[in-house]
C-alpha cells in the first residue's frame, strides 16, 4: 500500500494537493520523523480517543503527547484512548499504528493542535509505515477547516 484508499478519495474529493514521500519502514512517529528527515513539529499524528460511544481524533505534532487531563477539561467529560482493535475497526484500510490524521476521511470529528496550523508544510503517515503525505501549510489548514483548533498537547 502507498496511501490508504479512504484518505486518497477524501483528498481528491476536497481537491487537496499533496505529494507522497517514501521512507524506511518505521513503527513510531518520532522514528518516522528522523528517518524521513522531517522536523517533529511538522509531522502530524492522529490520536484517537473514545468519547462515550463515539470517537474523536486529536491531531498533534509527532513530538507531542495528548494531555488527557487538558482534553477532559476542554470537553467537560472524560475520554480514554481507543484500543488497537477499535482503531483497526475505524480505519480498516490502514496498517496498525499508521492512521492518517484526517478524521473526515474516516467519519471522525477532529481537533487539531494550533501549532500544526502555523507550519509552512506538514507531513503525515499515508496509512502505512513507509509513506508520508506532504502538503503545504495552507492545504493542511484547508483539510482541517471543520476541525476545532485546540491546545491539549504537550511537548515530549
Q: Compute the distance between CA of residue 106 and CA of residue 118 in angstroms, rounded to an integer.
A: 24
| Residue-averaged pLDDT of the chain | 94
**Res. 1 pLDDT band, cuts 50 70 90:** low
Q: Is this prediction's pTM over 0.75?
A: yes
Span 106-150, pLDDT tens digits: 999 999 999 999 999 999 999 999 999 999 999 999 999 999 999
Q: Compute the distance between CA of residue 4 and CA of residue 78 in angstroms, rounded to an integer.
A: 30
- DSSP structural state of residue 15: T
All structural domains of the chain with their residue ranges: 5-155
Q: Compute the distance between CA of residue 39 and CA of residue 145 in angstroms, rounded to an integer.
A: 23
| Grid coordinates given for 142 | 484547508
According to CATH, what is the number of the domain 5-155?
3.90.960.10
Q: Compute the distance between CA of residue 55 and CA of residue 32 in angstroms, rounded to an integer.
A: 25
**Res. 153 pLDDT band, cuts 50 70 90:** very high
Q: Compute the distance between CA of residue 147 and CA of residue 131 in angstroms, rounded to an integer.
A: 24
Amino acid at each position: 500500500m502507498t496511501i490508504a484508499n479512504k484518505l486518497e478519495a477524501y483528498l481528491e474529493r476536497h481537491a487537496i494537493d499533496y505529494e507522497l514521500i517514501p521512507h524506511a519502514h518505521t513503527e513510531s512517529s518520532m522514528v518516522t520523523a528522523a528517518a524521513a528527515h522531517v522536523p517533529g513539529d511538522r509531522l502530524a499524528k492522529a490520536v484517537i480517543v473514545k468519547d462515550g460511544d463515539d470517537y474523536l481524533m486529536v491531531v498533534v505534532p509527532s513530538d507531542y503527547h495528548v494531555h488527557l487531563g487538558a482534553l477532559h477539561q476542554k470537553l467537560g467529560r472524560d475520554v480514554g484512548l481507543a484500543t488497537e482493535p477499535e482503531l483497526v475497526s475505524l480505519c480498516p484500510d490502514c496498517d496498525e499504528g499508521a492512521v492518517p490524521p484526517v478524521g473526515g476521511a474516516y467519519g471522525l470529528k477532529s481537533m487539531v493542535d494550533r501549532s500544526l496550523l502555523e507550519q509552512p508544510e506538514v507531513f503525515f503517515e499515508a496509512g502505512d509505515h513507509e509513506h508520508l503525505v506532504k502538503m503545504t501549510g495552507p492545504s493542511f489548514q484547508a483539510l482541517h477547516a471543520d476541525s476545532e483548533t485546540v491546545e491539549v498537547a504537550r511537548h515530549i
